[in-house]
Amino acid sequence: MQHILYFLKQIHAYSGKILYINMFAMMGISLLEGVGILLLVPMISISGIVDLGTGAIPIVGNLFSFLEGIPSSIALPSILAVYVLIVISQNVMNRQISVKNTIIQQGFLRHVRIETYSSLLRSNWDFYIKKRKSDLINLLTSEIARASAGTNSFLQFVASLVFTVIQIGLAFVLSPNITVFVLLCGLMLIFFNRKFLARSLELGNKNYELGRNYLAGITDQMNGIKDIKSNTLEESRLDWFSSITKRIQTEQVEYTKLRSTSQLYYKVASAILIAGFIFIAINMFSAQAGQLMLVIVIFSRLWPRVAGIQASLEQIATMLPAFKAVKALQQECRVSQEFTSKSDKSIKPLEIKKGIFCENISFKYNQDTEKYALNNVNLSIPSNQMTAFVGKSGAGKSTLIDLLMGLNQPQKGRVLIDDALLTSDNLVALRKSISYVAQEPFLFNTSIKENLTLVVPDATEEQLWSALEFSSAAEFVSKLPDGLDSLIGDRGVKLSGGERQRLVLARAILRSPSILVLDEATSALDTDNEAKIQEALERLKGKMTIIVIAHRLSTIRNADQVVVLDQGEIIQTGEFAQLANEKRSMFSHLLRNQMEATN
């Protein structure tokens, strides 16, 4: 119930007064329908066309007694005209409410999507390290859509409830005894059918888990399709796919069986109830024909609405697991929020004058362990110089870079930009001053031009070609059939690894950053292009701060400072030649191994 109330608060917060206007309109429709039912039989009877003995019916006989003196030739068309007018008014209002409800539902869906995606984008890097990408995609697509579908179920539930209350009120006016009897029977049926709600919730949980695992498996397999094909794993993957789709099919069939069984019980019970109620009404309550007919008409129209209430509750119960998952994700994002700024357009990039400084920083990914990925690191990175980080795999190079970019925060110590502590207040300004080139370059499935202008939307073609020249990418781009407008496929699959790296490097340079971070950014380049990149980086020295992670030590010969890490600690710092001359050092060992491998 707590989650349902939260869900209703969210709808209220989004839709505001429109929700209440719709509810009042639904009450109006229910009243019109009740009046339509009330009009038809008594008016015809009182006018003398057919005598159903309705004169003794409370309220009705007095209300329509003025028709007794009207000739039947005029009364019948008048009565039917009023009835048709009421039905037309009811359906016109119904149409307007349906449109408004759709606006509320689709608007709420968009609202939840934007709110969730915005929260995701503002979450810190640690949040993403702990999450499976496919789970986030599943929540943003399938589960939010399912949760939003609960809006429609809720609106249907409200409509059915309002209609039911008003119709019961009319029936009670006509015959209190019969109405109380029918209500008691209906409440007993609802009580015995509560097990359907529990089963719906259970199936909703199963549907969420199946959808989550299905998308996770598909995402992993599409990302690793090259490995699957090269290792002939097609059959095993097809077996997995057949298995999970069979489970999804079974779950959907089970839900259909549940809903159809629930509706079957209601329809059978309604037939039995109406038959029993007519028998009892005549023999025990001595109901008059007019009363009996009106109550039968009311309850025959009311009972499907009661069944609709049950169906809406089952649908809400089914979507609750999805809504809980979305709510839990939003809460996690709020806890993991790295900055609170709603708009960063007014924030200007930082201008680093002195450098970046690490003072006694320590960091670990798992708070439950004692082992630190970085331990008591003290470091100075001078501005407008090149600093290179080297070390074995797992030494902590990438972890240190993440701290310098503010992606993670140290558990101990602090990071300073010039003399200012790096906090959430200046984090966006720092990020705006950084261009980052990863070891595994990421490109969007659009044109080369769109990939480049992602960081500088108003860049001219001259600027684009200048950046491409810098990264040694201009030659191969100019040879493509469509040049800058060439589509490069998913993650740049139509290009070679070296071409992808050069495009990402061009994109980084196009931004004109004050800090350029290269995480093995030249690892996929041949020696000729690597030499060109080194020359270009040399020209940038003195204009921007360059931070490089390198395994190929030949790429950092011109670095102003080389920092050697091992097991999360800095063990050497100095110039390339200085460290190379320290014969028993870690750096000398790494350099010697690479030279032997090359020879």
Residue 545's CATH number: 3.40.50.300
**One domain for residues 133 and 181:** yes
Give me the pLDDT at residue 438, please: 83
How many domains are there within the chain? 2
* Boundary-marking domain end, from 307, 335, 363: 335
The closest of 261, 325, 352 to 546, measured between CA atoms, is 352
What is the domain extent for residue 230? 2-335
Distance CA 45, CA 64 (A): 10
**One domain for residues 467 and 588:** yes
Does 350 reside within a domain? no
Does 288 reside within a domain? yes
**One domain for residues 302 and 378:** no
Of 353-362, 441-450, 589-598, where does the model show the most confidence?
353-362
**One domain for residues 408 and 286:** no
Does 371 reside within a domain? yes
Q: What is the mean pLDDT of the chain?
A: 78
**One domain for residues 317 and 377:** no
Burial group, residue 451, by CB count within 10 angstroms (0-12, 13-18, 19+):
buried
Does 343 reside within a domain? no
User: Which CATH number do you get for residue 128?
Assistant: 1.20.1560.10
Does 146 reside within a domain? yes
Does 347 reside within a domain? no
Within the chain, how many helices (H) and strands (E) appear? 21, 10
**One domain for residues 253 and 373:** no
Helix (H, G, I), strand (E, B) or coil at 354: coil
Q: Whole-prediction pTM value?
A: 0.73
Burial group, residue 260, by CB count within 10 angstroms (0-12, 13-18, 19+):
exposed
Give me the pLDDT at residue 52, please: 47
Does 127 reside within a domain? yes
The phi, psi pair for 540, rounded to 5°, reads -80, -20
Distance CA 70, CA 60 (A): 17
**One domain for residues 499 and 434:** yes
Q: What does the pLDDT look like over 484-528, one tens digit per residue? A: 888 888 777 888 877 888 888 889 888 888 999 988 776 666 777
Q: What does the pLDDT look like over 91-145, one tens digit per residue? A: 887 788 778 878 887 888 888 888 888 888 888 888 888 888 888 888 888 888 8
Does 468 reside within a domain? yes
Q: What does the pLDDT look like over 288-310, one tens digit per residue? A: 555 566 566 666 666 666 666 77
**One domain for residues 82 and 226:** yes
**One domain for residues 328 and 368:** no
